[in-house]
Amino acid sequence: MSHHTTPQSAPGSGNGWEPRIVAFFCNWCTYTAADLAGVSRMKHAPNVRIIRVMCSGRVDPQFVLEAFARGADGVLIGGCHFGDCHYSEGNYKAARRVRMLKRVLQEMGIEDARFRLEWISASEGEKVGMVINDMVEEVRALGPLGLPTRFKEWDREMEAFAHAAEAEVKEVAHAG
């Protein structure tokens, strides 16, 4: 495990690629835990950018897809433990969606470790750092996802396909 490793190089500090992870943290548990980590000055890797939502149940699968499509190498969702949800059951809904979404991501060739759901309560400041460091190292090991680049390749592929189809149609028309 990489819990105790401190981040070696910072993104932008050199030419080396650094994982970029987008996190959605629920207001009541995980965001508060991240604040606690801050107040307790618990250092962790700088690769995660947090977006605050009221509940992990608010995380639309499209947010996750958008993040990957825009170039995120990983997406992390943080919510309250089962039984602790401020809205009683939003985290259960989040858990169900994550399971379904993982199948879709698998189909798209996005590795399992790039998308993570963690339950972190308001008191677990230490866990925030552990999860972040762990995920950053896992994603680092996988390398860049580079979905935007892949999309461009797919676009070119589609364009070529469209041209070919068009040409075929013309040919058929001509022959007719």
Q: Which residues contact 15 (CB under 8 A, 6 or more apart)?
A: none
Confirm or reject binding of residue 35 to other proteins (CB under 8 A): yes
How distant, in Å, are the alpha carbons of 41, 62, 84 from that of 147?
34, 15, 35
The per-type count for the chain, helices as H runs and strands as E runs, is: 5, 4
Q: Give, for 14, the enclosing helix (H) or strand (E).
A: none
Confirm or reject binding of residue 119 to other proteins (CB under 8 A): no
Confirm or reject binding of residue 102 to other proteins (CB under 8 A): no
Beta carbon nearer to other proteins, 34 or 135: 34
Angle at 158 between CA 152 and CA 163, to 5 degrees: 130
How many Å apart are CA 150 and CA 68, to the nearest integer?
Answer: 11
Confirm or reject binding of residue 28 to other proteins (CB under 8 A): yes
Confirm or reject binding of residue 5 to other proteins (CB under 8 A): no
Distance of CA 104 to the CA centre of its chain: 14
Confirm or reject binding of residue 108 to other proteins (CB under 8 A): no
Confirm or reject binding of residue 131 to other proteins (CB under 8 A): no
Listed ranges 108-116, 119-127, 134-142, 166-174: which one lies at the site for other proteins (CB under 8 A): 119-127
Confirm or reject binding of residue 88 to other proteins (CB under 8 A): yes
Q: Are 151 and 66 in contact (CB under 8 A)?
A: no
The minimum distance between CB 112 and other proteins, in angstroms, equals 21
Residues that bind other proteins in the complex, under the rule CB under 8 A:
7, 10-13, 20, 22, 27-29, 31-32, 34-35, 37-39, 41-46, 49-55, 57-63, 66-67, 70-72, 83-84, 86-90, 93, 97, 121-125, 129, 146, 148-149, 152
